[in-house]
Amino acid sequence: MAFQEGSQLPTEGLEFSYIPIDLSDLSLINPLKCDTTSKLKLSNLLEKLSNSDSPNLVAVSVPGAFTPTCTENHIPPYLENLGKLIDKKVGAILVLATNDPFVVNAWGKLLIKEFVKINDDNKKLPEIIFASDGGFSEKYGLAGDRGGIIRNKRYAAIIDSRTGDVTYLGVETERGVDKSGVDAVLSKL
Amino acid sequence: MSSEDFPTSPSPKYIPFSEEHESIVSCGAPVDLNLKSLFKDSTIVIASVPFAFSPTCTEEHIPDYIKHIDQFKSEGVDKIIVLSASDPFAMSAWGKALGVKDPANYIIFAHDVDLGIAKALGSDYIADLSKGGLGVRSQRYAGIIENGEIKYLESENELNFTEISSAETLLKRL
């Protein structure tokens, strides 16, 4: 099976190492409090979403945590536009980076603290999951050699949890953020 | 190990701290750390950790060194280099997250490229965590390098943090 637009997401055996981030009180998120890692089984996440009223999963992949483009331009607009993503029935945002789960988790917590605004309208926030890619993207041709290290390409995908279909896959072919940015994703939701 | 030279190649990569990129979500550009020139006529402390941002490294090991910076300075240590398999962006952010914001870069948070330094030191300095999905990392180890020569170098077992790599042990050996 391939990971491509219009096909089902290949979820068999697909799991990611991550450390859950509790969004119920943003002020309690501490990037220097390190926990042990858990496994995220993607089929379980999709099943949970398919039974909710926010069935869309947005997956965003970046070459590296704490790198300039990813940290300054790519992920922050997603976190600043959670309200719009909620309105488009996004139940979870999965950020995948090449790094190990400790680094991805610390990066995620810092970005959430910096860019997620206090939720005034009391809308239920989507799950925000920062996970270590662990070879998934490479398996589907969505990673490449960057200076001796295999790093994820920058891309974003929308998965409809009710069908399991990849309804959008935008892969960047040049530097910068265009097809994988939050505006492109919102226009496809 | 003693009276041996500490490996200087491949050059680790790091992002020098600068006030321009003081914020943890602002990223600088990685450069090579030339160990050969750094070691010349200097006393350097090396501390290697398996992971940036992991519990032991972040809560115990490196904070222990940071707490003792003044003692290291007064014992004549010119610089402390923290090494890990984590990439230079993660290492730089981790340094800032630990509160190290020093334009003089007394503590350098650097990436051991391809684990070349750890591999040159030998298999005791490598920790293979592939089974747990965490890849191949360096062991937790600590050393004192004087003019390029190893004066003290010991590796922890099982990634623990004990007196082997504590700041106090290093200070005693200086």
What tens digit of pLDDT does each residue of B106-122 get?
A: 999 999 999 999 999 99
Residue B131's pLDDT band (boundaries 50, 70, 90)? Answer: confident
The mean pLDDT value for A101-108 works out to 94
Rg (CA), chain A: 15
Whether B19 is covered by a domain: the verdict is no
Residue B3's pLDDT band (boundaries 50, 70, 90)? Answer: low
Flag if A103 and B86 touch (Cβ within 8 Å). yes
Residue A70's pLDDT band (boundaries 50, 70, 90)? Answer: low
Q: What is the DSSP letter of A84?
A: H
Residue B138: both structure tokens together: 């360096």
The residue behind tokens 């990634």 is B159
Highest mean pLDDT pick, A7-11, A92-96, A146-150, B155-159: A92-96
Residues of chain B contacting A99 with CB distance shorter than 8 Å? 86-87, 90
Other C-beta atoms within 10 Å of A13: how many? 8
Query: Which runs of consecutive H residues, i.e. helices, occur in B17-174?
Result: 35-39, 55-56, 62-67, 69-74, 88-97, 116-121, 167-173
Q: Is A34 on the interface with B (CB under 8 A)?
A: yes
Q: What residues make up the domain containing B57?
A: 31-173
Whether B4 is covered by a domain: the verdict is no
Q: What is the DSSP letter of A19?
A: -
Residue A85: both structure tokens together: 């993503």
* Nearest residue to B150 via CA among B140, B138, B162, B142: B142
B residues 40..59 contacting A (CB < 8 A): 51-55, 58-59
Predicted ipTM of the assembly: 0.84
Angle (CA) B119-A136-A144 rounded to 5° is: 65
Domain holding B101: CATH number?
A: 3.40.30.10
Whether B155 is covered by a domain: the verdict is yes
Q: How far is CA B16 from CA B36, B91, B138, in A?
A: 18, 11, 22
Whether B118 is covered by a domain: the verdict is yes
* Residue B29 half-sphere exposure toward CB, CA atoms < 13 A: 1
What tens digit of pLDDT does each residue of B6-26 get?
A: 999 999 999 999 888 888 777
* Number of domains comprising chain B: 1
Domain A38-188 architecture: 3-Layer(aba) Sandwich (3.40)
Whether B76 is covered by a domain: the verdict is yes
Where does A19-118 show beta strands of DSSP type E?
38-41, 56-62, 90-97
Flag if A99 and B90 touch (Cβ within 8 Å). yes
Whether B87 is covered by a domain: the verdict is yes
